[in-house]
Each structure stands twice: as structure tokens, then as C-alpha cells.
Structure 1
């Protein structure tokens, strides 16, 4: 027998079949189009979101780098220059600090030197504007408006001169500086950049941990932990040196897996959408394929017919999806973000696009169409002509049927789901996947919000600080946060809590069990001179090595206890039997010090002594009052009040009735400005931090909202497509129900109940599996350590929307079915 090539005929039949069955063809094309749109949009807009997130991190760091090393020897600098994996590196040196100016006796500003690589290249993405030139002479500085304001030099400009008294290792000196340039942007703006000539005569060097900062940018943006450890080991760091990777680089592999997990879930949504529609479409068209076999078409030709149809459907759907995705990603989202007012003062929205996204979308959706169509195609092939002519959708019904309990419509709705459990599960899983992706993205974007950034572990709204205690001369320390001011804070409208922290200067006498051990470790970690050179002075004159005794309230202790490895006993702490030490980055383990005794004496009266048992170690710097050599000792505020008569309040934490209450903050600032010591206060504000982070984020959150909008639309269209296909495949069954007496109202009610059951199933999968996956992905990309918190309102709104859609869509589809004609005509039309 001669073999005939009927491929051209099959291709024409495939095109004709799609043309004649427009509704089914459009349904399948829409499924592919929406899946393509989903994947293309999420990849494109998601890449934009993470690009903007990286820009946010660059701004928050003040420069573009992946790691920072404290202290850098010439040998280490050479190793970094010769390392092929390093793109660039920039050096920064702390050069001293401003002690006072004619306008302000307690300025909070420092001197910094930056090399050309750091200033010209690494800082450039974090700057908004620059005018003038970087300093070259010893008496020139590059200033920011904030640094000038901090020192009382508001209104000066490039070319003007300012007078400052400053301190370096070489001593204190007063000098008139010329402002060679000014800049503004992100990073440390309370600092004056000085020339290399100034830095060289300051007494500092890059090799010192207290001064040198080497910023490193790597060629690769993903480094495994093994690669990071190998790089650190190659530098042979000294004991005092530290190298830290930025959070996004240090956890780059973990973040990558989290993003891949999110992409895979998105792809799974696309697969379910395509598979579901194709399965329903082929199942409803089995009789057609059976008839084709009765006229001589072979199983293989039926298979080729379906493949040709899928190629056409896939080609049209993928093309339309990419065009729609491109339009939404590059035009509609930026317009929507701007219309919401999100982009104000945030710059232009630049959608990130890489050719790989285009090709990956086509490749994956094409592969998904192929895989999703295999089972329906095989189902059509394996169905004989006789079986096809008598085919009815599989119901899974039992031969014998007992009357069930409960309301009949609920039973019928439940039975409908059980008839084809696989189909019902796929529909639920499809909705749950969309809802889970929505849940995941909403949670991630919520965690990145400016409101989630905290500058203190107690999450206070404002912390007011006494800057006089920064003076090296203890006689200049003054009690400017007195009882009167504290009472005014408490009486201020909108203030909920006021938490003052008190301290007094102390000495810790030498003894071999604890203080000697502490000082040895301190000198090895932080000092350039050996401990042996000063041990005799410490033994004879411990007053030359001062520290402080800090008193905290019961509330402070409860918050601090949550951060300790071993929480302290509150009763013993309140009685003054135990204390907590600030570890100061020393390498002590808790087991080395817990249970040991530490003795301190009042600085002004060494006969006044107290001894405490060490009950805990903390790395929290919130309670650092003075940077002494001996440890900062934290005890109950009652202990400090009985130890000295008038302990000094060095900071006060304030919490408002309503978080981020600008009116309350305005009243607090007004109190500070009216004080005669206004210039000696500084403060940290959660509201100002939020505004700073918002500015650093640019349009990142707006783009994130765009992603959520896309996912919400896809979830809606997914269910609509699935429901339309499902009810179309059941039109005979529904018509038969009407023929035996079921009213239209009862049918609509049953369909609503089915929708509620589908929604309930989707909720159940989302709350269990979806939430678990969301938590896993969230922790993978949560390099900022923000606590996991589901945005309840957004998620409840999404769940409620799904419930409403699940109830309304089946009714609308049924009404459309009713318009096709009478019951008899519908049954006859199908036959």
C-alpha cells in the first residue's frame, strides 16, 4: 500500500476546526495569552522591582559596593587589586570629628576622606547633585546642607569659609576651612569630606580598624557561602579586622532560590490555566474526534490534528500575550503608578527588560502548551469511534445511590465536585496557586515598605539624646533632659509612653578574675598599643579608664530580655544582684562570663562601690552612653538612683498613641526648640527614617503594586475561563435537570453553592500549603530581618473577591446558556 502524505489536509482541517468553533478557540487562545501575559509581566516587572530594590540598598548604604572591610593593610590592598573577581574598590578613612563651632558647642559631625574611586564611582549612584570640587588642600572641605546645619552654618555656600574646632589623634585644633564643594543625596550626610593631605596629617591610617574602610564591588552578584569564606580567608584578616558582606550579597544564593521559587509558582499557575482549559475543551469535543475516525482518519492523524491546533493556538496566544504584557509593563503600570501619586519626587520609572525574558517566556509557554495538550490529545486518540459517539463526560457516579442527609442543593453541589474529583481539584489548585502567588508578593512588598524599617530594637517613634555627654571633658556633661522636660513629654498630646535611660560615670578597678580578662580582650580587639604598656596605670589609676553604669526600667528590661541568648531573672535584676554587660563586639561567649562578679566604683567617689553578678551579655548599642575601655554595665534604674544622687538622663525613648503621628512629633520638636539647650539635643525619628527610605525606594513600591494588580487580574481571568469551559461541558446535564423540574432559581443557587465550595477549597489550600510556601520564600529573600507578617486586610480582600467571583461568574455563564434557547433545543443541539 502506498503511503499518502496528508499533513497539508490535516493542517487545513485544524485551521477550519478552530475557525468553525470560535468560542472554544477563543477560550484556548485566551488561556495561552493570559499565561504568556502573566509570565512576561511578572518577569519584567519583577526584574524592575528587584532592580529598584538594589538601587534602594545602594542609596541606604550611601554607595555601590558588595562588602566592606574595616582596616586595610598595604598587602591586603594589593591582593584586592590583583583579584580578577573585584570590579572596583574604594577607600574611606575616618579623619576625626567636629568638637565645636562658634554657633554650636555640641555638633554631631565628623571628618571623612574618600579616594577618587569611592567618591567618583561608588558614591555616584547615591548622590542627587554636586557643585564645586572635591577638597585638595588641607583647609578645604566638601559639605552637605545637613552637616552645615548640624554645625550652625546654615546659608553658606561654595567658596565661603567656616571655623571649626576638631579632634584627631594628633590632638584638638581650631581652623578656618574653605568650602570647596557641596553635595546632597543618600548616605552619611552629617560628615565633611576632607582632602588626602588633611587625612595624612590627621594621625590616622587605612590600616587602623578605627579609621580605614575598604569598600569592595565584585564582578558576580551571586556568591555562595563557600566563596565568601574563601575570599575572607585569602585576606588573612587580623584579629581587629572585620569584613562584612552587604545583606543582599551575603544572602545572594538564598535570595536567588527564593526568587526562583516565586517564578516556579507563577509558571505553575500558567500551566494549570492552560491544562485546565485544554482538558475541558478536548473533553467536550470527543464526539467530533470520534466522527473523524469513522470516516477513516487514523489515531496518529487525530494526534497531528490536535498538535496543529495547539501550534496555531499557541502561536496566536503567545504573540498576543507578549504584546499585552509589553504594553502593560512598559506603559500602563508607569501611568497607573503616576496617577496614584506614588512617583512624586521619586524619579522616572524605568522598566527593566532583558532579551532573555522574551525568549524564556516563549520557550516556557510553548513547552507548557505542548505538555498540557499531551493528555487531552492522547484521550482523543484512544477513544474509539463507537465510544466517542456515545461519550459523556466522566462523572464518577456510583451505580447505587442512597439518599443523603442535609439540604439537597448543597448535596448536589458537593456531588458535582465529587463527580470529577481531578477536575475539581485542578480548578481549586489553579485558584489557590494564583491566590498563593498574590499572598506571597503582597507579603514581600509589604515587608519592604518604608514603615517596616526600624532604627531601634524597641520600635520607638522618637529617641531624644543629650549631646553634652559626648564631650571628653566630664565637667561639661550637663543634665539637659531634666524632670521638667520629661513631664512635658508625658503631658504632650498624643504621647503614650516615655522611657528615660539614666547613667553615671564609673570606674571598674583592676582584678584578675574579670576586669583583667576583659581589658586584655579589649586591647587586642580595639587598641593599637599592647595592654602590657598600660596595665600598671590601670591598676594604680583606674579613674583614667572610665566607663558608665546605665539604669533601665522594667519595660526596657523586658524588651532587652527578648534579644538575649539567656534571659536574666527580672527579680534578681531589680534587686541589684545581677547586671548585663554590653559586649562591645568582643569575642566573649556567655559561658565565659556568666556568673562572674564585676565591681564598679563611683567616678567622683571611689569609696562608693557596688558588686554585681554578670547575668547576660548584649550586643545592643542602644544603651551605650560613654565609649569606655571597661564594660558598660546595665542595671535597674532603681540601683543607679540609690548608687548616686542625681544620675544623668542621656536619652529618652518616646512612643506615640498612633504610630507615625506627625502632629505629635511636631509638638515634641517644638518643646525641644523652645528649650534653652536646644542646640545640645539630637534625635532619631521613625517618621524621618520612613521618609528617607521612601525617597531611597523611588517607585519600587509602585512597581510592586503593579505586580499585585497583574496577579489579581490573572487570578480572576483564570477562574472565569475555567468556569466558562466547565459549564459549557455540562450544558446537557444542566438542561436535563431543568427538564425534570429544577427551576432556574434552584439551578442558580446550586451554581452559587458550587462556587462557594470551589472558593472554600482554594482558601484551604492557600492557608495551608500556600502559606507554608510563602513563608519559605519570604525567609529566603528576607535579608533585612523584618518579622514575617501577612497583610491581613489585603489577603482578606483577595479571599473575599475570590468568593464573590466564584459565586457570580457561574450564574452569569448560566444566564448566557439560557439565552441559547429552550431546554429541548439545547439538548437536541448538543446531540
Structure 2
């Protein structure tokens, strides 16, 4: 064909065709808008959460800097400053003084330090509310949380008294000296931190005066490298330059090259997002493709005539694509606007299920959100109109005049017998007269139903009561915040035994059990304990993350001791409940893999339960000795006890070992035996008992204890369930709407294109009642096929959805109610829509409908 240049005419025809197809345009705009809304919402939540995770990692680390180095001297700082690989503008110096010893800080660690301007900028978790950094020696800047502890107003100029340990000739005197300051500024944390650690800023003048007579803390430096790749190698090279260096350093985990090294974890986190993108693409494609396909088939004669007068196939494709572009220009901006609004509503809800739920503010203005949504939405439109455009450009001028709605590649066979004229047979034949169109409708509707069933499964499988039982053993618990650290904290106030007795005597209390805990217990690295730890599998990523790359086995061998997590319980039934409620699953499966828990024997004493693995060196029935160190070395003394191994719990790995003994045995092992949890079960009136326990807690006024109720956890779990429902059903509603729009669009165009055919059937004797029955049966066939798909592939999708998005303490529950609802909705749409459309189109007489040219 000869080339021609009639771009203006193509644009003109495209514009006029666009104006003529008003119904198609409206449905297309709705379809593209819905697809864009889904993409924008998904990217708003996904990208914002990724940014928030990175920010949170930095906030947990304490700084936005690549590296933080402790215990450096001035000469080493000068070397770092002059190093070519270091970004000079990022260097922040922190001069530590000491910890404040005010009585109000009994349960907290409050450090005094000089922060220069860059250090404050690097401290990403803090946000100055008012004021400025200290200038004179009386100035001080504090977190609002510390001001609240001191019961001081958030007001510039407030007088603040801080107690600091006094020293003479470099030795602490054991007394504290009170220094008077004036508040020059105050800040808050961007994350709600539960860590009892705070920094308050003082001036260089105070620091210089204080260090004349007192021992001062070490210097700390934070900085960035010019290149954020291979940070670990860069810091190793820098340490070689400043040797001898015996201090501690750490690399910001947010910048580590190998932060996504766990393939299974990456797949678990990325798979739901990838599947959602595929689902949205598929749903949008099915609807937009069907709209353009139907539009092209309807106007095929028009395209044939254009070809006759010299329009090239390329120009016909451009004609279709131009119309798709026009629709995109209208629909995508609308979808972006609505999607951002929905995304911002859903984002805080989605954040509740993450480890960064304490983040106070989340930025959702990343340009990647809009770029990603626009690209994916437009790709969906372009892919959807490619085949219809190809059809319009490839059909010949002659074929266009006789193009039928039936599949052209199906050979018609003469039907014999009498059954072919039966209405149900005619309905089945009509349904598959265009297999491609029927398949598109069935796929779109089935996909919507499968997503609905999957989301319903996730919602119905979550059990708020079971979730609460996984968080708490009793109806009420009295928890001590520092009992497990009694070894290193001298001034901890333990839970008073009289307090526990008073709780037991309360009306409504059924039982009271005690749990003791020592997270940092040191035991001799020898015998069975040593063999068991050496047999455990070691994950290299775990080593890098928690041991800074050091081989902990070598450290244990050098120190001749190892940290052991020791728990004591007042009854073996506590361990039984822990296992039943999956409370020991913090590594992986926390079930007994060898032996059996005999509660009666365990309670008598002399038995121990350990966390091991399939190839454990220690076996059930073995006798093991525990040498618990009273100090940091064996020479400082130890308690020695021997126990028989009763059972082994799984998931012992990475040089970690937990042991469980009864209450009396725990007191023999650990000299400072403090109760961590008091587990209270009640007969009834939980609220009343909880109030009475709260009153007792106030009476004994222990700053380390607080009360938790299972009822509170159940309410929180129910709130989470509602959140999942809102997020899940929002997506289901939009995808379902796309599916139903697809069905309605297909049915409307199908019946309108067959209007002449129906008139001819009426002319040869078929009644309107029979025609309506035939249309209703066509709809019923859709229902039967979609129901079959739901029962097979839909059931599989519920299982896959449950396992991909599995929440802890959830139990797979098949969504029977959701399936029934889905069938009813499909039935209503499939039967009523064709009948309504037929009623509207059949108002004219038979003669008038036959006269209408196809």
C-alpha cells in the first residue's frame, strides 16, 4: 500500500469517533479510573511503608549517619576528619559526661552529653519543638518525656535540677552533686519509644568546667562516607588508619548492602504486593480490553470503509490508540486523586500490622507513587487496546462488511435431532457463540469472587481471643519491667511477696502463678552446655546483625562463660500453656520435639527443659550441670546445680539457649530471684478484679510494675480485624466492581447486537416469555460455571491467601458465608441484567427491529 500523510484527518476521525461512543467512553473512564485508584492506593501504601521502614531502621539505630564510633580520642577524630572517603559535612561529635541520678530516673537511663549542630541533625529520631541548643553553661535541652518525669512544664526558662555523680581524683565518691540549669529548648521523639534511654544536651562551657574536677565519658563520632556502598569494608579500612582503636563501632543497618539477604523473608514480604499488581493488571485488562473489543466489533464496518478509501493498518491502529490516550488523559488524573486519598486513609491502618506502628508521622508524598501509578495504569490501557487495534487494522474491506459476533474460526455443523431447538440448548449455544468474549467475562467475574473469598478467609480465620491468649497466659498479668535484668541493675525494686498474697486473697481470683526470668544469666562454658551450643546451626546474617561479625563461640571460649536465658515457673502447667499458645515460637516452631512434659514430676524439682534442635547433643534423660556465675568470671563464685533433662523444645539455633526449671530450682540457680510476671486467672468479674489489682499496685507503689488485661488485647485484636476488613474489602469492592462492570458491559452490548436476531425469533413464533427464559438460562450458566470455579480454584485461592498473609494465632476457616454471598450476587447480576436490557430494547415492534441494519 502507498504511504500517505493524513495525520490531521486521522486525529479528526478519532475525535469524532470519541464523541460518538459516549457509553463506551463513560464505562472506559470508570474502568481506567478504578484501575488507577487501585495502583495509586497500592503504591501509596507500599512505597510509603518502604520509606517508613528505612526511616524507622535509622531511628532505631539512633542516627541517619552511615557509621557511629564510640570511645574515640581527639587525634583519631582528626584522622577521620581528614580522610578522603569521609563526607566532612556529615561529621557530628558527641561528648558524653555521665548519667543523671535524679530519683525520678530510677527506671530510666538519662545521659548528659554535648551535641554539636550536626549531631542533632544526624539524630533522626528527635524533633526540636521549641528553643535552641545550649550556649551558656546553665543552658540545657531535654526531651519532653524527661520533663514529664520531673513534672516540669514545657516552657523555655524553666529551672531544672540535675543530680550527677561526684568524683574526686578520677574516682566516684558515691555521692551525687546537684547542678542547676535553665531550659533553653525541648524536643520529642518521632517514634513512641519504650526503651528507657534518653539524652539531654548541655553546653561546651559546662562540659569544660565539669571535666576539670570529674571523670568524663568517652567521645563519640557519627559520619557518612561519600560512597554508601561496601560500608563494612570502608569502616574496616578507616579503623586500620586510626589504630590502636579498642572502642565499639556500628554500621547503620538501613545502609547495609546485604540487608535483603533472606530470600524466603523477601519473597514473603514481596509476594503479596506482586500478586496484587498482577491482579489489578489482569482485572483492568479484562475490562478495558473487553470494552475496546466490543467497540471495535460494533464499528468494524466503519473501519472497513476507512480502509477502502486508503487508510493504512498503521493509521487504524493509531485511531484506536488515540482514543485510548484521550480516555487515559481524563481517567488517570481522576484515579490518581482518588487513589491518593484512599491510600492515605488505608496507610495508617496498614501500619498497625508492622513493627513500625509507633512511627508518629509517615511521608506519603514520594514521587515514585505517582510515577508508578501512571506507568502501570497506562501500560494496562495500552495492553488492553492492542488486540482490538490489531483486529481493526487487519480485517479486510470485504470481511468487515460481513463480520459476525460469532467466532470466525468455528466450523458450523448441521445439527440433527430435535433437542437443538430446546430453550436450554439454545441458551448454552448463545453463551459460547463468541468463546473469547464468554471467557473474558467468566475470568473477570471469577477473579473478583476468588479475591473476595481469599480476603474473607483471612478475616474469618483471625481469632481475637486466640491472639490475646498468645500474648498473655492469664486473664490479668502483673508485669515487672526490669526483673529479667536484675543481674546488671542493682537498684531494682522486686515485686513484693505481700502484694502477691493480697492478689491471691481477692474475691474472684481463681489461681495465681509466677514466672521468673533472667535474660542475661552467665553460666560456665563447659560440659554438656558447651557441646549443645556448638552443635547448633549458625546463620551468617544473624552473626552480622547481632554480633557485628564476631564469632561468639570464640568469645565464649575466651570468657569461659556464655549467656543463658533462664526461666523459672511456679508450675509446669505454665510451660504447657506457653507451648499451646505458641508463645515459644519466637525463633520458629516452639513445640516439644523430644520427651514429654510431666507436670507433677516437674513441679517436684530436679528437672530441666531446654531449647534444642533435631541434632541436639543433649538428650532426654541426660544429667546436665549448670554453673551460674555470681559475677562476670568463675573466680568470683558460682552456684552449681545438676538437673535431669525432661524434654527438648525445638528451634535452638544461632548460639542461643533457653532453659526452664521450676520455681524452687530457679531460686537455687539465680541468687537474685525476681518475679517477672504474676499470672492471674479469675472466675468472673474480670473488670472488678482488675480494678482491685490496680488499687493494690498503687498501694505498693512499685515504679517497675504495670497491669495488663487479656480483655484489652482482645479489644485490640478486634480492632485489627476491623482494619483488615476495611483494607481488604476496599480492594475487593473496586476489583469486584471492575468484574461486574465487565459483565454488565458485555451483556448490554451482546443483547443490543442481537436485537434483530431476537426480533426474527419472535417473528417465527418464539414468545417474549421464552426469550426471557433463554436469557435467564444464559445467566444461570454463567452462575454455574463461576460457582464451579469458586469451589475449585476459589478454594485453592483461599488456602494460598491464608498462607501468604497468615497472621499469628490465626486458624484456617473456609468462608462458607462469603461463598454463599458471592453466588447470590452473581445470580442476581447474571439473571436480572440481561432481562432489564432486553425489556428496554424490545419496546419497538418486531418489524421496526428487523428493519434496523447491523
Same fold by TM (over 0.5)? yes
* Cα displacement string for residues 304-349 of structure 1 (whole angstroms, at most 9, x for unaligned residues): 56324313312320111133124424668779999xxx9xx99999
Contact 2:568–2:665 (8 Å) recurs in 1 = no
Q: Which of 737-746 and 327-336 deviates more?
A: 327-336
Return the offset for 1:808. Answer: 2.7
Return the offset for 1:2. Answer: 8.8
1:70/1:572 CA distance change after superposition, 3 Å: farther
1:53/1:799 CA distance change after superposition, 3 Å: farther
Residue 285 of structure 2: SS of its match in structure 1?
helix
- Which residue number in structure 2 is paired with residue 245 of structure 1? 253
Which of 604, 625, 629 is matched with 1:598 structurally? Answer: 625
* Cα displacement string for residues 9-58 of structure 1 (whole angstroms, at most 9, x for unaligned residues): 55544444444454345545554555455545654565456556666666
* Cα displacement string for residues 234-284 of structure 1 (whole angstroms, at most 9, x for unaligned residues): 788999977672599933994678656644543343333222212222233
- Which residue number in structure 1 is paired with residue 828 of structure 2? 807
Contact 1:275–1:372 (8 Å) recurs in 2 = yes
* Cα displacement string for residues 134-167 of structure 1 (whole angstroms, at most 9, x for unaligned residues): 6986x986544544666x7566973222557799
Which of 675, 678, 694 is matched with 2:699 structurally? Answer: 675
- Which residue number in structure 2 is paired with residue 569 of structure 1? 595
Return the offset for 1:701. Answer: 12
Contact 1:506–1:601 (8 Å) recurs in 2 = no
Counting only pairs closer than 5 Å after superposition, residues 257-268 of structure 1 correspond to structure 2 as 259=273, 262-268=276-282
Contact 2:128–2:186 (8 Å) recurs in 1 = no
Contact 1:759–1:806 (8 Å) recurs in 2 = no
Contact 2:143–2:200 (8 Å) recurs in 1 = no
Counting only pairs closer than 5 Å after superposition, residues 441-456 of structure 1 correspond to structure 2 as none
Residue 634 of structure 1: SS of its match in structure 2?
strand
Counting only pairs closer than 5 Å after superposition, residues 225-244 of structure 1 correspond to structure 2 as none
Where relative contact order (Cα < 8 A, 6+ residues apart) is larger, the structure is 1
1:453/1:310 CA distance change after superposition, 3 Å: farther
| Partners of 1:828 and 1:803 in 2: CA distance | 39
Task: Say whether 1:376 aligns with 2:397.
Answer: no
Task: Say whether 1:352 aligns with 2:352.
Answer: no
Contact 2:534–2:553 (8 Å) recurs in 1 = no
Counting only pairs closer than 5 Å after superposition, residues 693-708 of structure 1 correspond to structure 2 as none
- Which residue number in structure 2 is paired with residue 479 of structure 1? 496
Which of 644, 650, 655 is matched with 2:676 structurally? Answer: 650
Contact 1:97–1:110 (8 Å) recurs in 2 = yes
- Which residue number in structure 2 is paired with residue 627 of structure 1? none
Which of 317, 326, 333 is matched with 1:307 structurally? Answer: 317
- Which residue number in structure 2 is paired with residue 555 of structure 1? 577
- Which residue number in structure 2 is paired with residue 746 of structure 1? 773
* Cα displacement string for residues 692-716 of structure 1 (whole angstroms, at most 9, x for unaligned residues): 999xxxx999999977776565555
Which of 579, 585, 608 is matched with 1:579 structurally? Answer: 608
Counting only pairs closer than 5 Å after superposition, residues 601-612 of structure 1 correspond to structure 2 as 609-612=641-644
| Partners of 1:57 and 1:793 in 2: CA distance | 38
Return the offset for 1:501. Answer: 0.2
Task: Say whether 1:191 aligns with 2:203.
Answer: no
Alignment size in residue pairs: 768
Counting only pairs closer than 5 Å after superposition, residues 123-522 of structure 1 correspond to structure 2 as 123-124=123-124, 126-127=126-127, 129-131=129-131, 133=133, 142-147=141-146, 153=151, 158-163=158-163, 172-178=174-180, 180=183, 181-185=185-189, 186=191, 187=193, 190-194=196-200, 197=207, 205=218, 245=253, 250-251=259-260, 254=266, 259=273, 262-290=276-304, 296-297=308-309, 301=311, 303-304=313-314, 306-329=316-339, 352=365, 354=367, 368-384=380-396, 387-394=399-406, 399-400=414-415, 416-431=430-445, 464-466=478-480, 469=483, 470=486, 479-480=496-497, 482-487=499-504, 491=508, 500-502=514-516, 513=527
Return the offset for 1:555. Answer: 1.7
1:243/1:43 CA distance change after superposition, 3 Å: closer
Contact 1:276–1:426 (8 Å) recurs in 2 = yes
CA RMSD in angstroms comes to 6.7
1:556/1:429 CA distance change after superposition, 3 Å: same
| Partners of 1:421 and 1:758 in 2: CA distance | 14
| Partners of 1:546 and 1:27 in 2: CA distance | 66
Structure 1 gaps of 5+ residues are 207-211, 622-629, 780-785
1:618/1:411 CA distance change after superposition, 3 Å: same
Residue 852 of structure 2: SS of its match in structure 1?
helix
Return the offset for 1:184. Answer: 2.9
* Cα displacement string for residues 73-129 of structure 1 (whole angstroms, at most 9, x for unaligned residues): 68799499865799957788998767772x68x534443757447852244565373
* Cα displacement string for residues 777-817 of structure 1 (whole angstroms, at most 9, x for unaligned residues): 869xxxxxx64969989997699469626733763454244
TM-score (norm 2): 0.66
| Partners of 1:66 and 1:809 in 2: CA distance | 60
| Partners of 2:194 and 2:276 in 1: CA distance | 35
1:316/1:195 CA distance change after superposition, 3 Å: closer
TM-score (norm 1): 0.67
